[in-house]
Amino acid sequence: MPQLLYLLVGLVGGIFSGIFGIGGGAIMIPALVYLFGLTQHQAQGTCLAILLPPIGILAVLKYYQAGHVNWVMAGFIALGFVFGAYFGADWIQAVPGPQLKKAFGIFLIILGLKMIFLK
């Protein structure tokens, strides 16, 4: 029953999103590639479709209640994100899947190393 596995991946991605604020992409994209056999492009497109509805509303509510949401900043970043995501999705279509998968992995490694070793 793949729907149950889909729900589990969404749950894990949502948990990490709520904990780390990563949007779930760092969890969901590898899961979509390695568990479900999607190409890197399919995984990234599916991940964006997953994040499209306001699935984070309850997590945002908790952060807001704790006084940890800057609405002005979030609004402007969201506006930029809308256009950035559109252009990024357009530009990346020309990159072959294997190269995109490697670039994504390198990005995550660099990001992780920076978060571990830099202040």
Q: What is the pLDDT of residue 53?
A: 63
Q: What is the DSSP letter of 95?
A: S
Q: What is the pLDDT of residue 55?
A: 65
Q: What is the pLDDT of residue 54?
A: 64
Q: What is the pLDDT of residue 38?
A: 87
Q: What is the pLDDT of residue 102?
A: 92
End-to-end CA distance of the chain: 44
Q: What is the pLDDT of residue 99?
A: 94
Per-residue tens of pLDDT for the chain, all 119 residues: 788 888 888 888 777 776 666 766 787 888 888 888 988 888 887 887 777 666 678 777 888 888 887 788 778 877 887 888 888 888 888 999 999 899 888 988 998 898 799 87
3-state helix, strand, coil in the chain (%, to 5): 80, 0, 20
